[in-house]
Structure 1
């Protein structure tokens, strides 16, 4: 049986979630794709726009994805936590693709709190549980977050191995 196809998808306003996504994709040997938002989220105005979008649980216009998530065995989605919620661009991506996900895992970066709530919200948006979840503070991300990412990736690899074993048995 061939190796599982894994895609890491993320949105990052400040670059923190991008750092995590890149490390996870490398560790998994996965393809990677950034969610591109059509809104300007730079500077103080962009920060306020982001907070309002999160508080109001808005969907926003995003650039259509270049990769088809249905072609992957597992999609790993990363989001910053905005006001205790998933970021608006990731919310839009999850809603647009929820019927296409075979299996999903989530990670988030956050400043102080709200990560558990955001991860729960991500599961609700796709209507299925995640095979693995990871939350990393911005401070940890700047220092590599090696232990958290290693545990997350190991959990994903174990899950994929069990899935392959079950396929062989059927």
Structure 2
């Protein structure tokens, strides 16, 4: 029986979501891909540009993905929360790939609030529920988010096991 293919995709402006993505990919033995934004988001001007993009809920230009999401049974997508919203690069990625995902899971990093709203928005953008979701504060991500991530990975591994069992039966 072949191994289930899992891809962890993320966008990270400051590196916080990247830390989470690296840990999740390691826990799941998954492929990893960063979403690359064509906008300059560094410094104060980049922060303000990110805020405007989030509030206006507009997609932005991103570099084409290197991995074909249709080749994966599960795509785990991570975003920072910007103004209570999914980040603009992740919004673009979800819109571009929503018809090609088999199953999705979501995770986010956030400063203080807005994670539930961002998760809801991600579900709406792909038009289906996620098999699992995980919200981690930026403070937890920098200290030790392994507890929350371990629970998230455990749920995903259970989903993958059920998927493999179903594929074996067919």
| TM-score interval, smaller chain | over 0.9
Q: Distance in 2 between matches of 1:167 and 1:27?
A: 22
5 Å matches for 1:70-109? 70-109=70-109
Q: Distance in 2 between matches of 1:61 and 1:156?
A: 30
How high is the TM-score relative to the length of structure 1? 0.98
Match of 1:17 in 2: 17
3-state SS of the aligned residue for 2:7? strand
Aligned to 2:41: 41
Listed as ranges, the gaps of 5+ residues in structure 1 are none
2:4 corresponds in structure 1 to 4
Matched, 1:163 2:155: no
| SS of the residue 1:7 aligns to | strand
Partner of residue 130, structure 2: 130
Shift of 1:36: 0.3
Q: Kindly provide the CA deviation profile for residues 25-70 of structure 1, in whole angstroms up to 9, marking residues without a partner as x.
A: 0110000000000000000010010011000001000000011000
Q: What residue number does 1:30 align with?
A: 30
Q: SS state of the match for residue 38, structure 2?
A: coil
RMSD of aligned alpha carbons = 0.7
TM (norm. structure 2) is 0.98
What residue is the counterpart of 2:112 in the other structure?
A: 112
Count of residue correspondences: 170
1:2 positional shift: 1.3
Match of 1:145 in 2: 145
